Chains A and B, each alone.
Chain A
Amino acid sequence: MREQRRSWRNRRLVGVLVIVLAAGAASWLWPGSATWGAGEPTVRYISHRFPMLEFWVKKMGEYPGIKFEAELIPFDQALEKMQIHLSQGAPTYDIMATDAFLSTFAERGWLMPLDSYIDKFRQAVEWDDINPTLVTDVCSYKGKVYGVPNLSISMFFFYRKDLFDAAGLKPPATMDEWIAAARALTKPDKKQYGTALTLKAGDAFQNDFTYFLRTYGGDWYDKDWRVTIDSEAGMKALTTMKELMKYAPPNVLAFHNDESTVAMQQGLTAMGLLWQSRALAMDNAQVSQVVGKVNFAVPPAATKGGKTHPRLAVGCYSISAFTKNDPELVFQVIAKSLNKANMREAAGLATPTRMSVTREPEVTQKFRFIRVAADNVQAGARLIPSNPEFSEAMLPVTQNLQKGLTGEVAIPEALKRAQKVMSDLMTEKGYYKKR
């Protein structure tokens, strides 16, 4: 009898525990509960981290009537997270910075077409002031607009004018001049190295390699999507990079954009290829040791009078097709934050995408590199390929290319292996199937 009572007591206890746990979980997860943000809508944002996007996050955060949550992480990881969540149709993110992969995401049905919202809010957001070339060439896919252009930047050649003048050097116009200048300005005992490079495997390595590859007359793919990095241009690119590495800081293979920026800012390097958005940081008196000493130029060509092809990037803000928020609200958060006043304020970080702002004399005079940005595009700065395989294979491809720089394998073998990784992926995806 006693045992039976104890048994009933135990079962009641377990039953009560289960009910309490279930009630707690339900209160946490039930739609409309505090956890689900009853009250102001929460707009969630994800992008890679760099100064221009940090600025836009700050401005979007000031949009009235919303809670704004932003995730700013390295490029590779941001892309990875977006792909994982979008592939599952998850409403995790509302606003995403879609770079070269806008067309891929649009193709997969992951992005919301914005045409109807543009029509509705055209005047309110002064849509016609936004550069239409950027809208149609970069932020659209198959005739529909999927993004609001938020920036346009390219990679410049940064150089220490004071060191160059002292050594009687001019900004290099060719690769050979770059190597010679870097050699002349390398003094390891004084903790001064000739040049910075961004060589960390992944996005960083790709930025530099793309510039060298294209400037030597090559490219990632031909018109039939055959991979073409294992070529004479690829050979020259890696050979030049390996030569320049001799005059770079010892851990340059671990350098991403931040490390290259800090190296320049702290006077560790005398020159290097960096993104336009890093130019203002050179004159930030709070952190920079080289205020007023860094100048900017179009990156060197392969030979005198040749073309140069640094990386060009145009960013678009897109809305997830799976957003649970009102898309009209999300569109306004983006488009109204990217207003003239904000673009004027941010003109030092990237070339504004509003035409009226780029024409303002105060802007072009205040930010001395805006002119170089325009020259860069004229000289041949280009976007990277927009196929999804380019991003997917980037880490293993650049890991193999890095092996050519470290000497683990010979440069021709490194190029061959890197090309194979990319080619195998393209083959698997059916790019070369005969129709």
Chain B
Amino acid sequence: MTRQQRRDRLIFLVPSMSVLVLILFYPLAYSIGLSFYNYYLPVPRKSFVGLDNFRYILGDDAFWDALGVTARFTSAAVAIELVLGAAVALLLDARIPCRRLAITAILLPMAITPAVAGLLMRWMFESNWGLVNYFLSLVGVRGPGWMGDPLWALWSIVLADVWQNTPFVVIVLYAGLQSIPLDPLEAAMVDGASRAQTLVHVVFPFLRPLVLFVLIIRSMDAFRIFDQVFVMTGGGPGTTTQTITFYNYVMAFRMLRMGRASALGVVTLLILSVVTSVFIYLLYHREKGEW
């Protein structure tokens, strides 16, 4: 490649890099910078306060509560999505009738924006007139107060997230199942392995990288959940569904503390980076002789 060609290729990178700088790097740098200032939105003056905002966040009980809620939500939602997604993917792989129709129907929730999905779920989980409690009443079960009940509010958000995001898991794992080579499967059959043994010892090892990939992506997304919380519960009752992102929203746009909100954003970014790094290490851990 000549120098001229290299330069020409760089020119083609300029538009996309400009967009990246504009929508990613600049806001990130600005936000990090702002986290060192005391900035109350209605008052234009900012004053440099060093690490005070970070000290406030780390000493704030509401932050640790929100982190706990986020961790509980993420682990519950992602676990259910993985198990359910894998089960549905296996079912689709078993060549059920109307498979294509089933795939289309399964993908529909993903096409809806999270805020609209949250609105749908809000009415479905409405305890007096919602569909969920209606169906429960048909089997003789009295549904709980869902979004108004501290024991169930977080579960209503989990179930809403499961409804919307399991299709992503299904589609990734289904694609993975489709790409498993036939030879090991046939060899297992010839060796007399049962279906369960084939699943555990042949299928899942092939799917492992994809499962980890889905785990990383879904964990990152679940950690940042906002729309469903905002629409369905508003962080309540009390703070039982106040996730870290919702708490960040309250700090920035209700209390108008932009400096602190930026510091909280930086802390969240650091937490997510650590968690993602661990997952990536697991995913790309170099075992002897293989990726």
Interface residues of A (CB under 8 A from B): 3-4, 7, 10-11, 14, 17, 76, 80, 83-84, 87, 108, 191, 199-202, 249-255, 263, 266, 268, 388, 392-396, 399-400, 402-403, 405-406, 408, 425
Contacts and interface: CB of A to CB of B under 8 A. Distances in A.
A84 B41 contact: yes
Nearest to A429: B40
Contacts of B245: none
Counting chain A CB atoms within 10 Å of each CB, the highest count among B127, B235, B253 belongs to B253
A253 B236 contact: yes
Given A250-B148, A396-B62, A76 B11 contact: no
Contact of A253 (B11, B42, B128, B237): B237
B238 A7 contact: no
B254 A399 contact: no
Contacts of B240: 406, 408
14 contacts: A3-B5, A7-B8, A10-B8, A14-B14, A17-B15, A76-B254, A191-B128, A251-B145, A253-B148, A254-B145, A254-B233, A392-B254, A406-B150, A406-B237
Contacts of A199: 148, 237
Contacts of B128: 191, 249, 251, 263, 266, 268
Contact of B127 (A14, A251, A425): A251
Counting chain A CB atoms within 10 Å of each CB, the highest count among B126, B237, B253, B256 belongs to B237
Contact of A202 (B147, B148, B149, B234): B234
Given A253-B237, A268-B128, 13 more contacts: A3-B2, A7-B5, A14-B11, A80-B254, A84-B41, A200-B234, A201-B234, A249-B128, A250-B144, A252-B148, A253-B149, A263-B128, A392-B256
B238 A403 contact: yes
Contacts of A396: 62, 250, 254-255
B291 interface: no
B279 to A, nearest CB: 32
Contact of B236 (A7, A201, A394): A201
Contacts of B253: 80, 84
Contacts of A7: 4-5, 8
Interface in B130-162: 144-150, 153
A403 B234 contact: no
B228 interface: no
B239 interface: yes
Contacts of A250: 127, 144-145, 148-149
Interface string B88-105: 000000000000000000
Contacts of B235: 201, 395, 399
A14 B16 CA distance: 13
Given A254-B236, A403-B238, A408-B238, A392 B148 contact: no
A395 B250 CA distance: 8
Nearest to B147: A254
A402 B237 CA distance: 7
Contact of A11 (B11, B127, B150): B11
A10 B238 contact: no
Contacts of B129: 266
Counting chain B CB atoms within 10 Å of each CB, the highest count among A3, A14, A87, A399 belongs to A399
A393 B146 CA distance: 26
Nearest to A269: B128
A108 B11 CA distance: 47
A268 B129 CA distance: 10
Nearest to B146: A251
B238 A399 contact: yes
B148 A255 contact: yes
Counting chain A CB atoms within 10 Å of each CB, the highest count among B4, B8, B250 belongs to B8
Contacts of B44: 87
A399 B236 contact: yes
Given A7-B5, A108-B42, A388-B42, A399 B148 contact: no
Interface in B1-46: 2, 4-5, 8, 11-12, 14-15, 41-42, 44
A251 B147 contact: yes
A254 B8 CA distance: 59
Given A3-B2, A3-B5, A402 B11 contact: no
A198 to B, nearest CB: 12
B242 interface: yes
B120 to A, nearest CB: 16
Contacts of B250: 395-396
A392 B15 CA distance: 41
Counting chain A CB atoms within 10 Å of each CB, the highest count among B41, B129, B148, B234 belongs to B148
A251 B11 contact: no
A108 B40 CA distance: 13
A83 B41 contact: yes
Contacts of B146: 251
Nearest to B151: A406
Contacts of A10: 8, 11-12
Contacts of B242: 399
Given A251-B128, A255-B148, A393-B255, A87 B42 contact: yes
Contacts of A406: 150, 237-238, 240
A86 to B, nearest CB: 8
B258 to A, nearest CB: 10
B144 A254 contact: no
A83 B256 contact: yes
A87 B42 CA distance: 5
B109 to A, nearest CB: 23
Given A14-B12, A392-B255, A402-B238, A254 B41 contact: no
Nearest to B236: A201
Contacts of A393: 255
A405 B149 CA distance: 11
